[in-house]
Amino acid sequence: MRKLTIIALLLVLSFAVLGAAQTTKDLISSDYTKKVYIPFKKPPPSMIYYVPNEMIVQLKEVPTTQITAVQKDKEIVYLTGRTSLDELNKKYAVTKFSRQFPDTEPVDRAATVQPTDTPAPDLTRHYVIKFGEKFRLEEVLKAYAVDGHVEMTQPIGVHPVYESFPNDPYFLTDQWNFNEPNDHDIDATDAWDYETGDATVVVADLDTGLQYNMRDLGGLSPYTDGNVWINWAEYNGSPGVDDDANGYIDDWVGWDFVHGVYNVWPGEDSTKTDNEPTDFNGHGSHVGGIMGAITNNSIGVAGLAGGWNTGTNDPANGVKVMACRIGWSAPHPIYGYEVGYVRMDFAASAIYYAVNNGAMAINCSWGSSNSGGLGAAVDYAVANDVFVCAAAGNSNSQSADYLGTRADVIDVCATDSSDIKADFSNYGTWVDLSAPGVDILSTYSFHYAHYYAWVSGTSQAAPHVTAAAGFLKSHNSSLTRQEIFDIIVDNTDNIDGLNPAYAGRLGSGRLNLFKALDATYDPEITVTYPNGGEVWYIGQTQTITWDASDNVGLVQSVIEYSTDGGSNWTEIGNVPGNPGEFDWVVTGPPSSTCRVQVTGYDAVGGSGSDMSDEDFCPPYKRQTGDRGSGLAVAGEGALPDIFALYQNRPNPFNPATEINFSLPRASEATVTIYNITGQVVATPISEMLDAGYHTVVWDGKNADGRSVASGIYFYRLQAEEFVQTRKMMLVR
């Protein structure tokens, strides 16, 4: 691990925020921030309400003419070119009828993204309709749903948000989720030895905003050298111009999708969309910091995929966090304290934006419903090979929200520093895995002021997994969404034993970043026989052997054979798993430059191969006399030039094994078996033998015919002055 510099903790303070009594921890000031503990609060109901006078309509066909607003009888009417729709628009005083998803294309992902089998949905027929406030939502939904030009109507749901040792001064003392003494953490420090995050990888933070001007996120002013995603076409473009033609003007640091929301917390921004996705609530900045706070910059906290900075003022090199503001602060409907909410149509638009602007992963730390076009937007993300991660929820129930019911979205519940399920966390068979979610320290915004805060919730668990996805993509850009999903889920630490009441309902286990990273490494294969100098006869059965290692296990082994030294290969075997050996009846044509190659494939698509170190079946002298009538692969009756004792096959063995040796001339040959103390166990052969290749079988019995015990044994060949000994293992 890298040598670490531990920065002295400076000033200890205590105070309260959000106008309520707080349980505080030590507060430490840096050059511009403080730390504060935010206690877990009772969450609002999983869905508070639907937007009362807006909805989503999916038309059966795209209108052939542009939808326009005209004045008729002192009223504004939206004309679609469909008489029945136009009448409905007039009847319900529609003041907005516009495309939900603008006509933009995703960034060119061909260089880094594998094609997906999931077709992209048609989003051109989705429209947002705003109607008169005096009409009931249920009535309007039903009226449009039965119109012949409408395929589907949806309301718009509003949901709550779910709440290597770097030199960052708060890391050692406070970020247990990355490095916990009893190893109930995600093993981030081990993973950082091999990967820290790549600046070409983008993860989207769909939340209450992101305090991009916080030094531990965006770096120093003008905040373009940090781990916040920058749209360089807009940053370097002309003000007031959509320089990259993505449908958003001047979106140099992401986009604020929140508009038309009222009854918010005093000081909150909620009336119109703009290019300032700053975070009033704090939730989004906390999530973003878990994923991508600048690591090893001598400031604040470390981000899981935050790179590895070489100095306080150097450009950050971790994954880039894309700010997509879809949420806002408002009073809790029952208790009155400040909580965050998101809208499903804002989320849908943000997903579409994130995909089209290059995000490979999207974090969703909030409640959800299949409303506001969210389902279609997630379909679009999956079809474009984008990883979607969702928090499981904070109501300590087995109920899954909409994203929790989707098999193509990874769902995350929360654990504490003892690997125990957080008492607030949802759980169930639909959960894919767990991650730390109790007292997580990260960057925070309190009404735009910069802090670090301890916050608890499945909201904090999910970004660990989203960042892990970005981390794996950083290490291997060819990984697909599904491959990343499988690697993360299949390489966790099982915690069912610590949570017997929830066994099977916390997913596959708690996230382990190092195991997941290790799973991206290819298998290692070593061919052990034949490896050079052997002679095989056509029609003879030979056992090809190999050693293999892989952290996730092999699912397939392919054996190939070459008669031209490895220039061309013919497949002779394809077997499941890793048996380590393969019996093959030798075929022609005769050759003096034969090789065998074995390729192993693991469960996550990695592969490794090895072939014989040297040619076997070299052109030895032709055999004289009448010994043997078969053709050697090297030619008829090939003879060895040297005395040799080969490794027994199989090894380890039970109950018997073959011992092969060669004699270049007729000799008195003795093969003796010894135990580990040097005592003679058996002498399978001791006689005059012709020149050639010989095989003797030892059946694992001693000279008295009794089976010997498991253990290490040695076999020795003595012929004339030649003596050689090898080791073998008997396993009963």
User: Residues 660-713: pLDDT tens digits?
Assistant: 888 889 999 999 999 988 899 999 999 999 888 788 999 999 999 999 999 999
For position 522, what pLDDT does the model report? Answer: 79
Tokens for 167, please give them: 């030199």
Tokens for 328, please give them: 């806002």
For position 21, what pLDDT does the model report? Answer: 22
For position 343, what pLDDT does the model report? Answer: 94
Q: Over the Cα atoms of the chain, what is R_g?
A: 34
Statement: residue 23 has pLDDT above 70? no
Tokens for 87, please give them: 């009448």
Does the structural domain 521-637 have CATH classification 2.60.40.10? yes
Statement: residue 35 has pLDDT above 50? yes
Type and span of the H or E element at 171? helix 171-174
DSSP code, position 94: -
Statement: residue 714 has pLDDT above 90? yes
pTM passes above 0.85: no
CA-based diameter of the chain, in Å? 118
The CATH T-level fold of domain 52-154 is Alpha-Beta Plaits (3.30.70)
Chain centre to alpha carbon of residue 112: 15
> In the beta sheet, which residues pair with residue 133?
none
87 against 45, higher pLDDT: 87
**What whole-number distance in Å separates Cα of residue 131 and Cα of residue 139?**
11
Q: Is the dihedral of CA 425, 427, 430, 431 positive or negative?
A: positive
For position 679, what pLDDT does the model report? Answer: 93
For position 553, what pLDDT does the model report? Answer: 73
Q: Is the peptide bond before 530 cis (omega within 30 degrees of 0)?
A: yes
Beta carbons of 29 and 9 less than 8 angstroms apart = no
Statement: residue 112 has pLDDT above 90? no
The segment(s) of the chain belonging to CATH 3.30.70 are 52-154
For position 533, what pLDDT does the model report? Answer: 77
CATH code for the structural domain at 159-518: 3.40.50.200
Query: Residue 27's pLDDT band (boundaries 50, 70, 90)?
Result: very low
The segment(s) of the chain belonging to CATH 2.60.40.10 are 521-637
Percent of the chain with pLDDT strictly greater than 90: 54
The segment(s) of the chain belonging to CATH 3.40.50.200 are 159-518
The segment(s) of the chain belonging to CATH 2.60.40.1930 are 640-732
Superfamily of domain 640-732: Macroglobulin (MG2) domain (2.60.40.1930)
